[in-house]
Amino acid sequence: MKKPLRYGLIGCGGFGRFCLGEYQRMPELTCVAVTDNDEALARKTADEHHLAFCPSVEAMLKRGDIDLVHLATPPFTHMNLALAALEAGKHVLCEKPLALNVMDAERMVRKAQERNRLLTVNLIMRHNPLCQAVKAIVNSQVLGAPLYATLVNAAQDENLPPAHWFWDPAKSGGIFIEHGVHFFDLFEWWFGAGTLLSAQEIRRPGTGIVDQVHCAVQYGAMTLGTFYHGFHQMRSRDEQSWRIIFELGTLTMSEWVPTCMELDVTLSNEGMETIRKILPDSEVRVTDLYFGNDQHPSSRHRNRSVDLRAVVSAGAGLEKKALYGRMVRDLMRDQISAIGNPGRQRMITEANGVSSLAWAEAAHQMAGQRPLSPVP
Ligand SMILES: NC(=O)c1ccc[n+]([C@@H]2O[C@H](COP(=O)([O-])OP(=O)(O)OC[C@H]3O[C@@H](n4cnc5c(N)ncnc54)[C@H](O)[C@@H]3O)[C@@H](O)[C@H]2O)c1
């Protein structure tokens, strides 16, 4: 068995600590040390997890017993920390977004190539089994073409006081860049190349804070995608919904880390078999059976051949936090198995980090070109 990779955490905030807890469960990793600008927080994290405390990033990067660092600091710090870590010969798992803009992200990628180190980005969504099922459904074409896909994210902002770095685009990049990259990456993975059609932003009245963004993208010849992100809800009202309308059915999911999926489909018996193979643990409820002429309806000026309508429910038993943790571990496992084995295909690469950022940067700029809404 390969020796475990030795890991150091830079940034002991909410997400860095969550990932650390997950990584400590992985036999492929030995967690060694932590650091943070906030010394008290770094010491507390080190004590709680029985790890070494490093007084600074420089001190951590000098350690010979660390192979890979996880950058879990705010976005504006990613580029310089990644360049320093790569220069010091460490592999880097960088939090999303890879950087604040594509130019900086490409600089990071070049440095990783120069130093022959792994650089990757923690875009975990592709490791969600339901997101993988969407990919399989799209690829199989069992539901025909995807025509419309939308994500509506009405997120809580209880943990985001006005002075939080999240609201400052110079630190976070803004909502499309800080948060939207997850979903730009996923839609591109599902639907292929696209074109940004429009983007909008809304400022919270009486403040400079942009708390709502929206954009529309066309994928290929016929898929329209839209993304809405608003950070304005009470914790108890935090909600996300996904909807994909195909020619032969509609797929819905809820939660930003989706934990359940429902399909309402009208299919032939063979089509239904394909769905059952893609979602083997799903529950299928047949709601209609078709006979005679009813088996040959048409849509989009094409004849269809159908035997039944059914509602398919998948994801039973997935609990959000446990699933989130599993996705975090699966991404890390996939990445480290590529170290020393460069031919191995990874689920997510730094190129996806750059590409998702290109979408987000374009949407950010397009939205910002609109005149600002008058402040009442
Ligand atoms: N992949 C995901 O699903 C996911 C989820 C949540 C957050 N994130 C990302 O993780 C990153 C951190 O988010 P968070 O919510 O944990 O933020 P946070 O503010 O809770 O934590 C950031 C920590 O970094 C420290 N820090 C800042 N600059 C530093 C520096 N130069 N050197 C050392 N420490 C420094 C801060 O003191 C703080 O403790 C962000 O990029 C965010 O987008 C990713």
335-376 residue pLDDT tens: 999 998 878 999 999 999 999 999 999 999 999 865 444 444
79-102 pLDDT, tens per residue? 999 999 999 999 999 999 999 999
Give the 3-state DSSP-derived string for the chain, with helices as H, strands as E and coil as C.
CCCCEEEEEECCCHHHHHHHHHHCCCCCEEEEEEECCCHHHHHHHHHHHCCEECCCHHHHHHCCCCCEEEECCCHHHHHHHHHHHHHCCCEEEECCCCCCCHHHHHHHHHHHHHHCCCEEECCHHHHCHHHHHHHHHHHHCCCCCEEEEEEEEEEECCCCCCCCHHHCHHHHCCHHHHHHHHHHHHHHHHHCCEEEEEEEEEECCCCCCEEEEEEEEEECCCEEEEEEEEEEECHHHCEEEEEEEECCEEEEEECCCCCEEEEEEEECHHHHHHHHHHCCCCEEEEEEECCHHHHCCEECCEECCCCEEEEEEECCCCCHHHHHHHHHHHHHHHHHCCCCCCCCCCCCCHHHHHHHHHHHHHHHHHHHCCCCCCCC
Residue 182 lies in a domain: no
Tell me which residue range forms the domain holding 85.
5-122
Specify the pLDDT at position 318.
81
Question: How sure is the predictor about 209, in pLDDT bands with cuts at 50, 70 and 90?
Answer: very high
Average pLDDT, integer, range 308-313: 98
pLDDT at 62: 98
Q: What is the mean pLDDT of the chain?
A: 95
- pLDDT for 14 equals 97
Query: What domain count does the chain have?
Result: 1
- Residues enclosing ligand 1, CB less than 6 A? 10-16, 36-38, 41, 57, 72-75, 77, 95-96, 122, 124, 178
Residue 308 falls inside a structural domain:
no
- Domain assignment present for 107: yes
Higher pLDDT residue, 316 or 336? 336
- The model's pLDDT over 167-179, given as tens digits with 9 standing for 90+, comes to 999 999 999 999 9
| CATH number for the domain that contains residue 116 | 3.40.50.720
CA 77 to ligand 1: nearest atom: 31
Q: Is residue 369 in a domain?
A: no
Distance 165 CA to ligand 1 centre (A): 10
pLDDT at 342: 76
The verdict on residue 319 lying in a domain is: no
pLDDT for 343 equals 85
Domain annotation covers residue 349: no
pLDDT band at 1 (very low <50, low <70, confident <90, very high): low
Distance, CA 68 to ligand 1 centroid (Å)? Answer: 17
In a domain, 175, yes or no: no
**Residue 64: inside a domain:** yes
pLDDT at 310: 98
